[in-house]
C-alpha cells in the first residue's frame, strides 16, 4: 500500500525532469553576483510579480523575517490576520529578530480566519508620536491564508487595506508563500495580486514542487537592503543556481497545473463533508487546502490522523478538533478521492 501524504504540499519531491534541470544548471558564486541561474530566477520572479527586483532566499520564513526587519522598527505594531504564518509558525522570530509586536485583527474562529477589512485595519491603526501607544509600522496580508484553509483574499479588500496603509504611512507586506495558488484560484495575474504591496514574498517549495527556495520582491533599494539582511541571517548562498534551477523549471512546468490541485481538494472535500461528525463548509475550500473540524462526540483530530494513517493516508492535526489535508503535485485525482473515502470512513467510527 503506497502512502498518500496530504500533511502538507511541502512534502513534494523533485521530479526526474526537475533533477535533470538542477544537474545541468549553470552556476557561479552568488556572493559575487555571478550565478546565472540564480540571477535568471530573480529576474523572472521580479517580472512575474511586477516588482523592480527579487532576491532568492532559503525559505518562506526567511523572506518574511527579512521583510519584517526591513519594514519595521523595534517596538512597532504589526497588524495581521488571525493565525498568520508569521505569528504561528515562525517560532517567535519576529519578536526575536525585529522586536515587533502583533495586533491580530479579523475573525478568530469560524469561516474567514486570517482575513480582515480596511475597517479592521483603520480601527486598529495607531499613529506615531503618541506618548504611550506603539505606532503601527506594518500591515501583513497572507494570500492564500494557510491556517484559514487556503482562503483567497478578496482583491478589493487587499487594495483598500494597502491604500489606507499608504495614506497613513504604514508599510505593507504580502506573505505570498501561497500566492501562486491564489492566482490559480481567482484567475488574476501575480502582478495584479502583488501590485498593492511594498514588498512580497513567494515560496517555490509548496505547490510548485521545488526542494527549497523562496523569493522576496520589491523596490530595488529595499531588495538591496535585503541582500545584506539575508547575509546577517546567515542565508547568503554560493552556487545557489542548483536550487534556483529547480525554481525556473517549476515556473515553466508546474505553475499552470495548480488548478488541478484545487479541483482535487474540492473533490476530496465534497466526500469528507458527507461524513457524520464533520464540520466543513465547502465554500472555504478555495485552493489546495482542506480544513475540517470534528464535531463534539466525533473522533478528535489526533484519532483521525492515527486512524487514517493505518489506511495509508497522512493528514495533519491542526488543532485538537481540526484536521488539515493538502493536495499537491505528488497526489493525483484518484489518490485524493481515495483519501476522501478513507477520511470519511474514519469519521464514521
Ligand atoms: C509555508 C509558508 C511559509 C514559509 O514556510 P517555510 O517553511 O519557511 O518555507 C510562509 N507563509 C505561509 C503562508 C506559508 O504557508
Residue range 60-69, pLDDT digits in tens: 999 999 999 9
Q: Same structural domain for residues 163 and 304?
A: no
Q: Is position 335 within any domain?
A: yes
Q: Is 60 in the pocket of ligand 1 (CB under 6 A)?
A: yes
Q: pLDDT band at residue 2, thresholds of 50, 70 and 90?
A: confident
Q: Same structural domain for residues 237 and 288?
A: no
Q: Is position 3 within any domain?
A: no
What does the block give as the cell for 24? 545541468
Distance from C-alpha of 300 to C-alpha of 320, rounded to nearest angstrom: 6
Most informative mutation of 10, 66, 81, 89 for ligand 1 (most atoms within 8 A of CB): 89
Three-class DSSP category at 82: coil
Q: Is position 8 within any domain?
A: no
- What pLDDT score does 27 carry? 98
Distance from C-alpha of 108 to C-alpha of 79, rounded to nearest angstrom: 14
Per-residue pLDDT of 29-42, as tens digits, reads 999 999 999 999 99
Per-residue pLDDT of 98-120, as tens digits, reads 999 999 999 998 889 999 999 99
**Averaged pLDDT, 215-236:** 98
Distance from C-alpha of 235 to C-alpha of 256, rounded to nearest angstrom: 30
Compute the half-sphere exposure of residue 175: CA atoms within 13 Å on the CB side of its CA. 30
- What pLDDT score does 110 carry? 85
Q: Same structural domain for residues 220 and 276?
A: no
User: Of 148, 133, 130, whose CA–CA distance to 101 is shortest?
Assistant: 133
Other C-beta atoms lying within 10 Å of the C-beta of residue 160: 17
**Averaged pLDDT, 237-259:** 98
User: Of 29, 35, 142, whose CA–CA distance to 88 is shortest?
Assistant: 142
Q: Is position 165 within any domain?
A: yes
Which numbered atom of ligand 1 lies nearest the CA of 62?
A: 8
Domain boundary among 202, 233, 253: 253
- What pLDDT score does 339 carry? 98
Q: How many domains does the chain have?
A: 2
Q: What is the CATH number of the domain that holds 26?
A: 3.40.640.10
Domain boundary among 199, 229, 253: 253
% residues pLDDT > 70 (the chain)? 99
Structural domain boundaries, residue 270: 257-347
Q: What is the CATH number of the domain that holds 275?
A: 3.90.1150.10
Taking the centre of ligand 1 as the mean of its atom positions, its distance from the CA of residue 248, in whole angstroms, is 19
Q: Is 178 in the pocket of ligand 1 (CB under 6 A)?
A: yes
Q: pLDDT band at residue 1, thresholds of 50, 70 and 90?
A: low
Residues in the chain: 349
Kindly report the protein residue whose alpha carbon is nearest to atom 4 of ligand 1: 60
Kindly report the protein residue whose alpha carbon is nearest to atom 5 of ligand 1: 60
pLDDT of 349 strictly over 80: no
Q: Same structural domain for residues 124 and 215?
A: yes
Three-class DSSP category at 95: helix
- What pLDDT score does 348 carry? 86
Q: Same structural domain for residues 201 and 81?
A: yes
Q: Same structural domain for residues 266 and 243?
A: no
What does the block give as the cell for 147? 491556517
Q: Same structural domain for residues 151 and 275?
A: no
Q: pLDDT band at residue 332, thresholds of 50, 70 and 90?
A: very high
Whether the model clears a pTM of 0.95, i.e. scores above it, the answer is yes
Q: Same structural domain for residues 35 and 162?
A: yes
The average confidence (pLDDT) of the chain is: 97
Q: Is 61 in the pocket of ligand 1 (CB under 6 A)?
A: yes
Distance from C-alpha of 68 to C-alpha of 275, rounded to nearest angstrom: 42
Taking the centre of ligand 1 as the mean of its atom positions, its distance from the CA of residue 116, in whole angstroms, is 20
Element holding 289 (H helix, E strand)? strand 289-294
The DSSP output letter for 145 is B
Domain boundary among 253, 271, 298: 253
Distance from C-alpha of 241 to C-alpha of 238, rounded to nearest angstrom: 8
Q: Is position 45 within any domain?
A: yes
Which numbered atom of ligand 1 lies nearest the CA of 205?
A: 9
Q: Are strands 313-314 and 214-218 parallel, antiparallel or unpaired?
A: unpaired
Distance from C-alpha of 239 to C-alpha of 58, rounded to nearest angstrom: 13
Q: Is position 2 within any domain?
A: no
Three-class DSSP category at 138: strand
Q: Is 203 in the pocket of ligand 1 (CB under 6 A)?
A: yes
Q: Same structural domain for residues 249 and 271?
A: no
Q: Same structural domain for residues 284 and 184?
A: no
Distance from C-alpha of 174 to C-alpha of 328, rounded to nearest angstrom: 22
Most informative mutation of 91, 177, 178, 209 for ligand 1 (most atoms within 8 A of CB): 177
Q: pLDDT band at residue 284, thresholds of 50, 70 and 90?
A: very high
**Averaged pLDDT, 335-339:** 98
Residue 215 contacts residue 40 (beta carbons within 8 Å): no
- What pLDDT score does 222 carry? 98
Per-residue pLDDT of 201-214, as tens digits, reads 999 999 999 999 99
Distance from C-alpha of 272 to C-alpha of 290, rounded to nearest angstrom: 10
Q: Same structural domain for residues 247 and 266?
A: no
Q: Same structural domain for residues 243 and 271?
A: no
Q: Is position 1 within any domain?
A: no
Distance from C-alpha of 121 to C-alpha of 314, rounded to nearest angstrom: 37
- What pLDDT score does 71 carry? 98
Per-residue pLDDT of 175-222, as tens digits, reads 999 999 999 999 999 999 999 999 999 999 999 999 999 999 999 999
Q: pLDDT band at residue 300, thresholds of 50, 70 and 90?
A: very high
Q: Is position 7 within any domain?
A: no
- What pLDDT score does 176 carry? 98
Amino acid at each position: 500500500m503506497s502512502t498518500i501524504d496530504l500533511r502538507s504540499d511541502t512534502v513534494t519531491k523533485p521530479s526526474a525532469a526537475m533533477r535533470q534541470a538542477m544537474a545541468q544548471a549553470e552556476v557561479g558564486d552568488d556572493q559575487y553576483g555571478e550565478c546565472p541561474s540564480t540571477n535568471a530566477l530573480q529576474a523572472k520572479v521580479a517580472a512575474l510579480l511586477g516588482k523592480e527586483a527579487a532576491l532568492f532566499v532559503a525559505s518562506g520564513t526567511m523572506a518574511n523575517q527579512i521583510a519584517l526587519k526591513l519594514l519595521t522598527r523595534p517596538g512597532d505594531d504589526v497588524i495581521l490576520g488571525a493565525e498568520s504564518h508569521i505569528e504561528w509558525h515562525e517560532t517567535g522570530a519576529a519578536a526575536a529578530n525585529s522586536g515587533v509586536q502583533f495586533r491580530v485583527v479579523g475573525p478568530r474562529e469560524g469561516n474567514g480566519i486570517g482575513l480582515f477589512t480596511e475597517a479592521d485595519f483603520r480601527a486598529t491603526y495607531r499613529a506615531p508620536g503618541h506618548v504611550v501607544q506603539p505606532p503601527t509600522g506594518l500591515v501583513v496580508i497572507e494570500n492564500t491564508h494557510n491556517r484559514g484553509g487556503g482562503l483567497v483574499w478578496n482583491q478589493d479588500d487587499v487594495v483598500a487595506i494597502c491604500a489606507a496603509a499608504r495614506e497613513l504611512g504604514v508599510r505593507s507586506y504580502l506573505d505570498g508563500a501561497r500566492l501562486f495558488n491564489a492566482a490559480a484560484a481567482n484567475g488574476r495575474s501575480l502582478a495584479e495580486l502583488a501590485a498593492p504591496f511594498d514588498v512580497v514574498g513567494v515560496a517555490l517549495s509548496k505547490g510548485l514542487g521545488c526542494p527549497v527556495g523562496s523569493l522576496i520582491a520589491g523596490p530595488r533599494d529595499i531588495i538591496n537592503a535585503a541582500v545584506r539582511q539575508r547575509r546577517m541571517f546567515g542565508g547568503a548562498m554560493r552556487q545557489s543556481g542548483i536550487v534556483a534551477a529547480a525554481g525556473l523549471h517549476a515556473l515553466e512546468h508546474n505553475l499552470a497545473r495548480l488548478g488541478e490541485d484545487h479541483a482535487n481538494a474540492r473533490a476530496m472535500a465534497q466526500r469528507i463533508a458527507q461524513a457524520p461528525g464533520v464540520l466543513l463548509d465547502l465554500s472555504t475550500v478555495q485552493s489546495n487546502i482542506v480544513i475540517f473540524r470534528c464535531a463534539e462526540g466525533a473522533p478528535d483530530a489526533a484519532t483521525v490522523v492515527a486512524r487514517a494513517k493505518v489506511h495509508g493516508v497522512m493528514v495533519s492535526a491542526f488543532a485538537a478538533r481540526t484536521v488539515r489535508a493538502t493536495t499537491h503535485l505528488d497526489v493525483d485525482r484518484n489518490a485524493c478521492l481515495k483519501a476522501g473515502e478513507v477520511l470519511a470512513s474514519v469519521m464514521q467510527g
